[in-house]
Amino acid sequence: MITFKEVELSDRDWINHRLKQAQYKSCDFSFVNNFIWRYSNHIEFADVNGFYCLKSGVGEEQYYTYPVGEGDIKPVIEALMEDAKERNIPFRLRGIVENEVSKVEEAFPGLFNIESSRDESDYLYKTERLTTLAGKKLHGKRNHIARFKDNPDWQYEDITRENIEECKEMNAKWCSLYDCDEDESLQLEACAVALAFKNFFELNLIGGLIRRDGEVIAYTIGEPLTDDTFVVHIEKAFPNIQGAYPMINQQFVIHNCQDFEYVNREEDMGEEGLRKAKLSYYPDLLIDKYTAVLK
């Protein structure tokens, strides 16, 4: 049985070296994501032949993530299959990006059913479009931002050691508005957000906030994902303030994402409201991810 361990800050350099080699635009392949969701999603990792291998979930709902590394992928996947057999769990390999599907099929011809899940697709947008919001399709976003700016007493700031506590306070108010304590998925998200705040500077995260009348009313947190893609991990705004969400979205991109061609705004997880919000920006790319299950 493979020895999996919790993802820790001390593992970052080893893990990031492999992720940088792969240059996958999927949010699954982010050390920060794996670190802040480690408790909520029961994420553990192992070094198998120099490949970064993740195992997530509990009980019958455990699954493995496509290994990241250099060399022959076949013996690594075989080792994960044997691990699943020893744990007496079904073998499921998720997070396979489209250009890696053929490698799995060539290594294991006819062994797997390989299908994608729309709920897990990442939304990628051209940085230039999120910056300008040009065109007829994004006219509504520009209108919401204009209404936000009707009140001139607003400002954008990078998240720093001096203002991060105000972001935590704003997040607590947001959670109270949405009754996070009564919603299991929001509880799990709150755990991930708390880890991001607690380790913000150690993780080299990049964040921005917006003040209105001196009060923090929105914030965003992200990081570079690949050489040409920036990923937004967390975004919160007070829903009762018109234009707060499109405003923090645009301002963060203007100030922090200009060195990247794309912005990845992660998955919608099948949540209808989240899908509607992400589609309203008309993504330039959807990064489909596939799961391989033994036939």
Distance of CA 25 to the CA centre of its chain: 10
pLDDT in tens, 146-172: 999 999 999 999 999 999 999 999 999
Q: How far apart are CA 123 and CA 275, in angstroms?
A: 10
Report pLDDT for 60: 86
Q: Report helix, strand or coil for 158.
A: strand
Give the 3-state DSSP-derived string for 246-262, with helices as H, strands as E and coil as C.
Answer: HHHHHHHHHHHCCCCCE
List beta partners, residue 124: 264, 285
For the chain, helix, strand, coil in percent to 5 are 40, 25, 30
Q: How far is CA 231 from CA 72, 158, 226, in A?
A: 29, 16, 9
Structure-block tokens of residue 109: 């011809």
pLDDT in tens, 34-52: 999 999 999 999 999 999 9
Torsional sign, CA 182, 31, 238, 264: negative
Q: How far apart are CA 190 and CA 184, in angstroms?
A: 10
The conformation of residue 121, written as its DSSP 8-state character, comes to: P
Report pLDDT for 280: 97
Q: Where are the domains of the chain?
A: 5-121, 124-266
pTM confidence score:
0.96
Report pLDDT for 71: 94
Average pLDDT by stretches of 10, the chain with 295 residues: 97 97 96 97 98 95 96 97 97 97 97 96 98 97 98 98 98 95 93 97 98 98 98 97 98 98 97 96 98 96
Residue 19 gets the label, from left (phi > 0), alpha (psi -120 to 50) or beta, of alpha
Closest CA to 77 of 112, 43, 42, 125: 112
Alpha-carbon Rg for the chain, nearest whole angstrom, is 20
Structure-block tokens of residue 221: 């947190």
Report pLDDT for 268: 96
Q: How far apart are CA 231 and CA 253, in angstroms?
A: 11
The conformation of residue 210, written as its DSSP 8-state character, comes to: E
Question: Are the beta carbons of 159 and 200 closer than 8 angstroms?
Answer: yes
Closest CA to 68 of 98, 42, 92, 46: 46
Which one of 2.130.10.10, 3.40.50.300, 3.40.630.30, 3.90.1300.10 gives the CATH number of domain 124-266?
3.40.630.30
Question: Are the beta carbons of 156 and 251 closer than 8 angstroms?
Answer: yes
Q: How far is CA 75 from CA 94, 107, 212, 289, in A?
A: 17, 9, 55, 22
Which one of 3.40.50.620, 3.40.630.30, 3.40.190.10, 2.60.40.10 gives the CATH number of domain 5-121?
3.40.630.30
Q: How far apart are CA 245 and CA 263, in angstroms?
A: 16
Beta strands, E only, the chain: 5-6, 44-48, 51-56, 63-68, 92-97, 112-116, 122-126, 154-158, 206-212, 215-224, 229-237, 262-264, 285-287, 289-294
